[in-house]
Amino acid sequence: MKKLHFSLVGLLVFCSFTVSAQHSGSTKMDNFVNALMKKMTVDEKIGQLNLVTPGGAVTGSVVSKDVDTKIRNGQVGGLFGITGPDKIHRAQEIAVNNSRLHIPLIFGLDVIHGHRTIFPIPLGLSASWDTSLIRKSARIAANEATADALNWVFSPMVDIARDPRWGRVSEGSGEDPFLGSEIAKAMVEGYQGNDLAKNTTVMACVKHYALYGAAEAGREYNTVDMSKVKMYNEYLAPYKAAVDAGVGSVMSSFNTVNGVPATANKFLMTDVLRKQWGFKGLVVTDYTAVNELVNHGIGDLQTVSAKALNAGIDMDMVGEGFLTTLKKSLQQGKVTQKGIDDACRRVLEAKYKLGLFDDPYRYCNNEREKTELMSDANLKAAREIAARSFVLLKNNNQVLPLKKSGTIALIGPLADNKRNMLGTWSVSGDPEKSVTIIQGIKNVVGNDVNILYAKGANISDDTALIKRVNVFGTEIDVDQKSPEEMISDAVATANKADVVVAVLGEAADMTGESSSMSEIGLQPSQENLLRALVKTGKPVVLVLMNGRPMTLTWEDEHVTAILDIWFGGTEVGNAVADVLFGNYNPSGKITASFPRNVGQIPVYYNHLNTGRPYVPGEGTKFKSDYLDVPNTPLYPFGYGLSYTSFSYSDITLNSKTLKPGGKITASVNVTNTGTRSGKETVQLYTRQMIGSISRPVKELKGFQQITLEPGETRKVTFPISVDDLKFYNSDLKYVYEPGAFKVFIGTSSADVKEADFNLVR
Ligand code: NOJ
């Protein structure tokens, strides 16, 4: 632990905080914050609303300037983008020793899927469908973040995304509100634990509120226009789940919602968030989102800053609209003293809950930094969690798992590539410490298997795209050999092997923020390679690295097996080898549908019926369908194979009548019909057949994971109560409606058994 260095005056004032802030509890906190706020000038209060970055986490065109001076002047409430006990201690000292009221700073960062030890990207994590594992990943991330002196993380990102063109689909949990809500809750619990003041817990920040994932055409930062019924039933649920789980902060999104930018949207920030959901924590904007309201066309900087505060925003990230204009707006009556006080209070309360008034350096601990970052235990967890995120999309002739003998041709620009293993938003991860696929395979079977390698292609040959993707460093490097030479080397290598493992896909920053794509298939360079490999007649296993659902129609038809490994994080290579060679049986299931082509987007399982529903395979005129492609996705929500197989019995209902206050149960027997032990995620869906408004054809309502030995059968039972069947009607009332329902249980949203029951009054 670092020694405390207070100036004398700082120490005196600070001691008085320490006495009153020792124990948390709302009355104590209120008294403490009230007393502090009495001492504060308007400028100091506005200063608390200013969140700056000294340049370490730039996600916009503006960087904060004169940070030290501003801290001294009491013009900064928090800092993000720096890490490490020494640096953070130094910055905290400026605030605690040199600002008039010695108010400590809060320190945040984008800790998204791990901090130094990187886990799979969130879309991959969600494919594990294992909320305790996801909670564990957040817990480890919090441990590491706090060992690096942070106390605030800008996660979880819970935006429902049904458009894989949008690069940030990688950062969330896919298309489903129920699963998204379960994961949101798990992450908040993992980060925050049960006591924010512990030096191993961090304040979480659920983002991006709201509906950021519904950007038109999947184009980054684009407009969102959505009915309130859809909003309440499908998109708001995961944010609410995070709030219900006690998340300490919320980040506003960049997009407009029904014409009003979220960051100035009183309906979202106050009516829904605070009044309907009872959120008491801190609301921060996204990066320069206040300033961007000017571009949204709702006023000049002073006007938009006032609008954001009045809407319910507390803290302004980087843009300093609040810092530079709120006082003037107060004098002109455009904001109220209460508005500023409320916002300031929430910032101070966050600091209080984090225990910063008791000890501003409580997160600065050099010992922990040394022992906890990337510890063996964390790396071990990362390996297991990565393996759990992988999804087996295809496995013809049981080509996987591979034999631990013979010769494999390991081909592809991502096979021996440290730079891209961690995926987007791994700001504190060190790519150099990641285990590549080739290294992992050597680690696991290097003594038994002859491994031949060829790069085969560049990730892309498109120079304009390469330039855009490489802004943070060379993720796509262009080989000195021509594409033709690379392919012919790869083919020659493949011809010498028993099986080809092609590691292809996206570069890390082809998804994530500002990474929308209009085509979401493999880059032509890699497609040409894959076609050439398939032509050799060798079995081809495609190991796909991707941050979004991709269009894989050709691949699905032609390669022998596809293992989707997302961006698996620090230990990805070891985890891939564990799965390829059968030390681990894959069990992931996709959480966002994979379209057959871009024209199908958005394609998601929980859609409404139409008046002229499509009948698979029928192809008659006047139905809601396409002439050239089926309505169904290539791989549906909830889909994923295993090295073993499972069969489902019909559903047994203990009653066909559900009464308010009561519950019924739906059960199936699941049997492992294959030859290996395997994990299955059994999924429960319902459909309300008749309602006051049109209701989705299926909605996920539960899931359970079971591990079965070969030949073993297990009964899986789901309770169903009226609460599970509630929804928001056209008056936005959360109701249930009596009538006929269907219940479905199965292995994916598209492969289920079904039964009927009635909900009666
Ligand atoms: C912009 C991103 O939208 C957000 O997710 C992130 O937390 C902030 N920048 C801070 O880096």
Looking at residue 439, its amino acid is Q
pLDDT average, residue stretch 216-225: 98
Note the pTM of the prediction, 2 decimals.
Answer: 0.96
Q: What pLDDT is stored for residue 10 in this prediction?
A: 36
Whether residue 416 is found in the same domain as residue 550? yes
Best residue for ligand 1 mutational test, from 61, 206, 207 (most atoms within 8 Å of Cβ): 207
705 lines ligand 1 (CB under 6 A): no
- Which ligand 1 atom sits closest to the C-alpha of 57? 11
287 lines ligand 1 (CB under 6 A): yes
Please report where in the chains the tokens 């709120």 appear, as a residue: 326
Q: How far apart are CA 570 and CA 340, in angstroms?
A: 43
Helix 437-445 and helix 572-580: axis angle, to 10°?
A: 50
3-state DSSP: the chain helix, strand, coil percent, rounded to 5? 35, 20, 45
Question: How far away, in angstroms, is 60 Cα from ligand 1 center?
Answer: 9
Whether residue 409 is found in the same domain as residue 545? yes
pLDDT average, residue stretch 95-100: 98
Please report where in the chains the tokens 């999104």 appear, as a residue: 253
Residues with catalytic roles: 286
Q: β-strand 78-80 against 50-52: which pairing, if any?
A: parallel
154 lines ligand 1 (CB under 6 A): yes
Question: Smallest Cα–Cα separation from 172: which of 569, 603, 591, 700?
Answer: 591
User: Apex CA 271: angle with CA 270 and CA 273, to 5°?
Assistant: 65
Give the 3-state DSSP-derived string for 550-601, with helices as H, strands as E and coil as C: CCCHHHHHHCCEEEECCCCCCCHHHHHHHHHCCCCCCCCCCCCCECCCHHHC
- Which ligand 1 atom sits closest to the C-alpha of 207? 5
A 10 A CB-CB count for 615 gives 11
130 lines ligand 1 (CB under 6 A): no
Secondary structure tally for the chain: helices H, strands E: 23, 27
Please report where in the chains the tokens 């294992």 appear, as a residue: 130
Q: What pLDDT digit, counting tens, does each position of 659-686 carry?
A: 999 999 999 999 999 999 999 999 999 9
Question: How far away, in angstroms, is 59 Cα from ligand 1 center?
Answer: 6
Question: How far away, in angstroms, is 208 Cα from ligand 1 center?
Answer: 9
Residue that is last in its domain, among 560, 577, 594: 577
Instruction: Please name the residues in contact with 80: beta carbons below 8 A apart, sequence gap of 6 or more.
Output: 51, 52, 53, 56, 57, 107, 108, 109, 110, 152, 154, 317
C-beta of residue 566 within 8 angstroms of C-beta of residue 120: yes
A 10 A CB-CB count for 669 gives 14
Q: What pLDDT digit, counting tens, does each position of 730-750 carry?
A: 999 999 999 999 999 999 999
User: In the beta sheet, which residues pair with residue 188?
Assistant: none
Ligand 1 atom 4: the closest Cα is on which residue?
Answer: 286
For the chain, how many structural domains are there in total? 2
Q: Domain range holding 695? A: 646-759
Q: What pLDDT is stored for residue 60 in this prediction?
A: 73
Q: Look at residue 2 and tell me whether its pLDDT is greater than 60.
A: no
- Which ligand 1 atom sits closest to the C-alpha of 81? 11
Q: What pLDDT is stored for residue 64 in this prediction?
A: 84
- Which ligand 1 atom sits closest to the C-alpha of 171? 5
Q: β-strand 561-564 against 205-209: which pairing, if any?
A: unpaired
User: In the beta sheet, which residues pair with residue 752?
Assistant: 746
Please report where in the chains the tokens 């106050």 appear, as a residue: 270
A 10 A CB-CB count for 28 gives 14
Ligand 1 atom 7: the closest Cα is on which residue?
Answer: 154
Within a domain: 72 = no
Question: How far away, in angstroms, is 205 Cα from ligand 1 center?
Answer: 11
Burial 626-643 (b: 16+ CB within 10 A, else e): eeeeebbbbbbbbbbbbb
At 566, which CATH number?
3.40.50.1700
pLDDT average, residue stretch 331-341: 98
- Which ligand 1 atom sits closest to the C-alpha of 157? 5
C-beta of residue 374 within 8 angstroms of C-beta of residue 116: yes
Q: What pLDDT digit, counting tens, does each position of 577-598 carry?
A: 999 999 999 999 999 999 999 9
32 lines ligand 1 (CB under 6 A): no
Q: β-strand 739-748 against 678-688: which pairing, if any?
A: antiparallel
Query: What share of the chain has pLDDT > 90, as a percent?
Result: 94
Ligand 1 atom 3: the closest Cα is on which residue?
Answer: 286
757 lines ligand 1 (CB under 6 A): no
The tokens of 116 are what? 């130094």
Question: How far away, in angstroms, is 163 Cα from ligand 1 center?
Answer: 20
Instruction: Please name the residues in contact with 213: beta carbons below 8 A apart, sequence gap of 6 or more.
Output: 159, 160, 161, 162, 163, 166, 168, 169, 172, 235
Question: How far away, in angstroms, is 110 Cα from ligand 1 center?
Answer: 7
User: In the beta sheet, which residues pair with residue 106?
Assistant: 78
Within a domain: 294 = no
578 lines ligand 1 (CB under 6 A): no
584 lines ligand 1 (CB under 6 A): no
**Local structure of residue 467 (DSSP, 8 states):** H
Question: How far away, in angstroms, is 226 Cα from ligand 1 center?
Answer: 23
Q: What pLDDT digit, counting tens, does each position of 253-268 carry?
A: 999 999 999 999 999 9
Question: How far away, in angstroms, is 253 Cα from ligand 1 center?
Answer: 9
Q: What pLDDT digit, counting tens, does each position of 367-393 carry?
A: 999 999 999 999 999 999 999 999 999
DSSP codes, 117-152: SB---HHHHHTT--HHHHHHHHHHHHHHHHHTT--E
Within a domain: 150 = no
Best residue for ligand 1 mutational test, from 513, 514, 515 (most atoms within 8 Å of Cβ): 513
476 lines ligand 1 (CB under 6 A): no
Residue that is last in its domain, among 524, 554, 577: 577
Best residue for ligand 1 mutational test, from 64, 154, 166, 202 (most atoms within 8 Å of Cβ): 154
Q: How far apart are CA 226 and CA 461, in angstroms?
A: 38
Q: What pLDDT digit, counting tens, does each position of 491-525 carry?
A: 999 999 999 999 999 999 999 999 999 999 999 99
| Rg of the chain over all Cα atoms, to the nearest angstrom | 27
- Which ligand 1 atom sits closest to the C-alpha of 212? 3
Average model confidence (pLDDT) across the chain:
95
Q: How far apart are CA 586 and CA 563, in angstroms?
A: 9
Whether residue 685 is found in the same domain as residue 572? no
293 lines ligand 1 (CB under 6 A): no
Q: Look at residue 403 and tell me whether its pLDDT is greater than 60.
A: yes
Within a domain: 450 = yes
User: In the beta sheet, which residues pair with residue 734?
Assistant: 728
Within a domain: 248 = no
Question: How far away, in angstroms, is 286 Cα from ligand 1 center?
Answer: 6
Q: What pLDDT digit, counting tens, does each position of 164-186 carry?
A: 999 999 999 999 999 999 999 99
Question: How far away, in angstroms, is 319 Cα from ligand 1 center?
Answer: 13
Question: How far away, in angstroms, is 71 Cα from ligand 1 center?
Answer: 22
Whether residue 564 is found in the same domain as residue 660? no
Within a domain: 635 = no
User: Residue 423: enclosing H or E segment and its boundaries?
Assistant: none
Whether residue 651 is found in the same domain as residue 741? yes
Q: β-strand 106-109 against 78-80: which pairing, if any?
A: parallel
Instruction: Please name the residues in contact with 177: beta carbons below 8 A apart, sequence gap of 6 or more.
Output: 160, 233, 234, 235, 237, 238
Whether residue 401 is found in the same domain as residue 546? yes
At 748, which CATH number?
2.60.40.10
207 lines ligand 1 (CB under 6 A): yes
Whether residue 450 is found in the same domain as residue 554? yes
C-beta of residue 163 within 8 angstroms of C-beta of residue 211: no
59 lines ligand 1 (CB under 6 A): yes
Within a domain: 135 = no
Looking at residue 148, its amino acid is D
Question: How far away, in angstroms, is 26 Cα from ligand 1 center?
Answer: 30
Within a domain: 519 = yes
Q: How far apart are CA 6 and CA 12, in angstroms?
A: 9
Residue that is last in its domain, among 554, 577, 600: 577
Q: What pLDDT digit, counting tens, does each position of 23-67 carry?
A: 445 899 999 999 999 999 999 999 999 999 987 656 777 778 899
Q: What pLDDT digit, counting tens, does each position of 535-550 carry?
A: 999 999 999 999 999 9
Q: How far apart are CA 516 and CA 164, in angstroms?
A: 8
pLDDT band at 88 (very low <50, low <70, confident <90, very high): very high
A 10 A CB-CB count for 217 gives 13
Whether residue 524 is found in the same domain as residue 658? no
286 lines ligand 1 (CB under 6 A): yes
Give the 3-state DSSP-derived string for 651-691, with helices as H, strands as E and coil as C: CEECCCEECCCCEEEEEEEEEECCCCCEEEEEEEEEEECCC
Distances (CA, A) of 231 to 161, 244, 252: 13, 18, 16
Q: Look at residue 7 and tell me whether its pLDDT is greater than 60.
A: no
513 lines ligand 1 (CB under 6 A): yes
The tokens of 108 are what? 């945040």
Question: Smallest Cα–Cα separation from 758: which of 648, 653, 676, 685?
Answer: 653
Whether residue 439 is found in the same domain as residue 521? yes
C-beta of residue 610 within 8 angstroms of C-beta of residue 696: no
The tokens of 474 are what? 């060379």
pLDDT band at 15 (very low <50, low <70, confident <90, very high): very low
110 lines ligand 1 (CB under 6 A): yes
